[in-house]
Structure 1
Amino acid sequence: MKSSCRISFLLLSTLLPLSGSLYAADYVIDTKGSHASIQFKIPHLGYSLLLGRFNKFSGKFSYDEKNPSNAGAEVIINTASVDSNHAERDKHLRSEDFLFVERYPEARFVSTGYHSNGDNTGILNGNLTLRGVTKPISIDVRQIGAGKDPWGGFRRGFEGHTKLKLSDYNINFNIGPASKEVELGLYLEGIRQ
């Protein structure tokens, strides 16, 4: 009898540290319904802003309402899907001057940790791999909302913003001194699995 109690206690003490992560829900980013987008913005010669997006990407994230620090995300971008609303410019963006999509068809972000500010905002840290270079980045995140959808599912949405220094990823094409960094905006709606 004592040994069965001891085994139960050991099993319980082993599981307790994991119990925080048991409440995390997993979500798939809804790209099929076009309820997600990845956009970019960069100064053009210092005179205006050039806007664009990536039309093809996929990903997933997890979120635990009781312990937001357990949040995590992974996003894979098809770099050839870059779209700045100008065919010739997009061809140049796909070339080795910029994204070099022939050699590097994907960019990938994998989170390494999340710090919650306690007010539906936080900082998502992780590694971004672009043009074969992996660098740590931080994304300022805001939860937009969560709840049931009209199709019987449950959704949760976030927006995130970060800036990337182009030269960190071996993008050294000179487009002017005001255009050394690009701002990324991620607007992600996930469907709970």
Structure 2
Amino acid sequence: MTSGTGTRSRAMERAAGVATYLIDPDDSSVSLHARSLASAGFRGVFRHVAGTLTLDRERPERTAFAVYATASSLDTGSEERDARMCGAAFLDAGRHPLVSFWSSSAEVHHAGLFRLVGNLSLRGITQPLIVDAVHHERAHGPQGPELVTVAGRSVLKRSEWSPLRTAGVEAGAWFAGDDVELFFDVCAVKQEPIGWRP
């Protein structure tokens, strides 16, 4: 018969290569870029973000990434454009306050480079999305916590995304073309596992 202690020891060994990181909202951003008929294009940054990253060094394909942005925190550098983008015609931030992405699996190419397969939820509608990403591990000072940075990029199609499929002159003034680029630039701080004693 296997003792409870032995079972716990093996579980701890299996979990030894797994690390969880908490996204630092002060050093992270989610942004979008779109071409505009009125200009060369515009970039909007969601100022309020949060989320987690889980890395499994023994099974990197199990990498899990979840990031959340407050829709009303979108900053495009123009108050008029911000109001329209956050309004009912686009993000509808009043009724759908969060923009979120979470991965369901990861395809690892080589050290640091991977593809996240997951879902993006925008204005209450969830669609599949693939994010090409790279991560780097670094320490924050000799005694500081371990940090990981993740930079990711994806492209969503407005024609496939109901929140951005707004017809008429108003939509045409702000968008040109079907592609909207989405960028993730996050810094995450390693969380120490909670100690447990029998």
TM-score, normalised with respect to structure 2: 0.82
Cross-structure match for 1:175? 172
* Cα offset, 1:22, TM superposition: 4.2
Cross-structure match for 1:82? 74
Cross-structure match for 2:30? 38
Cross-structure match for 1:49? 41
Q: What is the alpha-carbon root mean square deviation over aligned residues?
A: 2.2
* 1:145-172 Cα distance to aligned partner (Å, 9 max, x none): 2122126211011100001112333122
* 1:81-138 Cα distance to aligned partner (Å, 9 max, x none): 0100100110000111110111111112121001100231110011111111111110
| Alignment pair present for 1:186 and 2:184 | yes
For structure 1, the 5+ residue unaligned runs are: none
Q: Which amino acid aligns with 2:156?
A: L
User: Relative to structure 1, is the Cα distance of residues 160 and 82 closer, same or farther in structure 2, using a 3 angstrom cutoff?
Assistant: same
Trace 1:134-149 onto structure 2 (pairs within 5 A). 134-143=126-135, 145-149=136-140
Asked if structure 2 preserves the Cα contact closer than 8 Å seen for 1:46 and 1:179, the reply is no
Trace 1:17-36 onto structure 2 (pairs within 5 A). 20-31=14-25, 34-36=26-28
Task: Report SS of the residue matched to 2:172.
Answer: coil
Asked if structure 1 preserves the Cα contact closer than 8 Å seen for 2:149 and 2:186, the reply is yes
Task: Report SS of the residue matched to 1:48.
Answer: coil
Which among 110, 129, 143 is matched to residue 121 of structure 2?
A: 129
Asked if structure 2 preserves the Cα contact closer than 8 Å seen for 1:72 and 1:113, the reply is yes
**Residues in 2 aligned to 1:85 and 1:21: alpha-carbon distance in whole angstroms:** 44
Task: Report SS of the residue matched to 1:88.
Answer: helix
User: Relative to structure 1, is the Cα distance of residues 128 and 20 closer, same or farther in structure 2, using a 3 angstrom cutoff?
Assistant: farther
> Identity over the aligned pairs, expressed in percent?
24
Cross-structure match for 1:98? 90
Asked if structure 2 preserves the Cα contact closer than 8 Å seen for 1:109 and 1:128, the reply is yes
Task: Report SS of the residue matched to 1:103.
Answer: coil
**Residues in 1 aligned to 2:59 and 2:38: alpha-carbon distance in whole angstroms:** 43
Deviates more, 1:127-136 or 1:43-52: 43-52
**Residues in 2 aligned to 1:163 and 1:147: alpha-carbon distance in whole angstroms:** 28
Q: Which amino acid aligns with 1:146?
A: E
* Cα offset, 1:47, TM superposition: 5.2
Q: How many residues align?
A: 180
**Residues in 2 aligned to 1:50 and 1:71: alpha-carbon distance in whole angstroms:** 32
Q: Which amino acid aligns with 2:161?
A: Y
* 1:37-95 Cα distance to aligned partner (Å, 9 max, x none): 11111001285121110001110111123321121011111000010010011000011
| Alignment pair present for 1:161 and 2:153 | yes
Asked if structure 2 preserves the Cα contact closer than 8 Å seen for 1:42 and 1:50, the reply is yes
Q: Which amino acid aligns with 1:92?
A: R
For structure 2, the 5+ residue unaligned runs are: 192-198
TM-score, normalised with respect to structure 1: 0.84
